[in-house]
């Protein structure tokens, strides 16, 4: 993919270290993403790529190093402030969707809006719009157990984007899908992100998924290397 026009760095990690017990997960990792950019984070299992995502999104604080988002040092924010960022500025898609089984697809997608105080009717209207954009409006009244894996992952993408996040974190978003469904999920995810100008941090070990990105960052032994030489 051709990179977007140059924009200021939106999210930057510098010399990030994270250790679990005696095992170093990140050992001086660095990372930068700009508004509207899609960056694939690749690496073998256990390389630290998911830990990097968790640190970048404020889910897990690093032991040392800095992470700046839109001019703010995430390490200087309180837990409540980081949680608020994850509700308003960040979206998340995981390998197995993690939809709430008791809720309909519309209610699942509307949930982030409801958590920020949007009235139910408006939240479900916006949720329906996103389900339509992701081509799963026909399952809007179904519960997750009544739909296919590919449909469920599209619902998860809709839920991640319904709040118009500035950064979408996608951790192996096609890992549980067959190749055909995986390709369609990626096509729809990328098209929606580009339409809204959302930056995407895409963790994957699959080259066909990474091909949807503007550039690749390879994590190995807790260190990140930008294949374009930019980080």
Cα–Cα dist 10/32, whole Å? 8
**What predicted TM-score, i.e. pTM, was given to this entire model?**
0.91
pLDDT category at 199 given cuts 50, 70, 90 is: very high
Residue 230: pLDDT over 60:
no
Set out the domains of the chain in order of their start, with CATH numbers: 1-89+199-231 (3.40.50.300)
- Over residues 152-166, the pLDDT tens digits come to 999 999 999 999 999
Cα–Cα dist 87/115, whole Å? 8
Query: For the sheet containing 23-34, what is the strand order?
Result: 23-34, 9-20, 64-69, 72-73
- Over residues 100-150, the pLDDT tens digits come to 999 999 999 999 999 999 999 999 999 999 999 999 999 999 999 999 999
Provide the terminal-to-terminal Cα distance of the chain, rounded to the nearest Å. Answer: 18
2 or 76, higher pLDDT: 76
Strands 23-34 and 9-20: antiparallel
pLDDT category at 227 given cuts 50, 70, 90 is: confident
Cα–Cα dist 5/114, whole Å? 34
Q: What is the pLDDT of residue 95?
A: 82
Give the residue from 183, 197, 219, 215 showing the smallest Cα distance to 91: 197
Q: What is the pLDDT of residue 7?
A: 77
DSSP assignment letter at 102: T
Residue 231: pLDDT over 60:
no
CB within 8 Å of 21: residues ≥ 6 apart: none
């Amino acid at each position: 993919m051709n990179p977007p026009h140059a924009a200021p760095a939106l999210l930057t990690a510098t010399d990030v270290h994270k250790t679990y017990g005696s095992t170093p997960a990140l050992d001086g990792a660095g990372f930068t993403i700009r508004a509207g950019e899609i960056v694939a984070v690749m690496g073998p299992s256990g390389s630290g790529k998911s830990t990097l995502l968790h640190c970048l999104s404020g889910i897990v604080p690093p032991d040392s190093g800095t992470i700046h988002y839109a001019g703010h040092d995430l390490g200087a924010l309180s837990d409540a402030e980081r949680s608020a960022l994850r509700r308003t500025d960040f979206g998340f898609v995981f390998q197995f969707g993690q939809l709430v089984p008791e809720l309909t697809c519309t209610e699942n997608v509307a949930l982030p809006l409801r958590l920020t105080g949007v009235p139910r009717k408006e939240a479900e209207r916006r949720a329906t719009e996103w389900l339509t954009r992701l081509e799963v409006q026909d399952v809007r009244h179904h519960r997750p157990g009544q739909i296919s894996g590919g449909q469920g992952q599209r619902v998860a993408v809709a839920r991640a984007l319904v709040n118009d996040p500035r950064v979408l974190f996608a951790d192996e978003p096609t890992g549980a899908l067959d190749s055909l469904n995986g390709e369609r999920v990626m096509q729809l995810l990328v098209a929606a992100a580009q339409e809204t100008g959302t930056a995407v941090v895409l963790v994957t070990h699959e080259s066909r998924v990474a091909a949807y990105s503007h550039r690749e960052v390879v994590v190995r032994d807790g260190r990140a290397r930008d294949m374009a030489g930019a980080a």
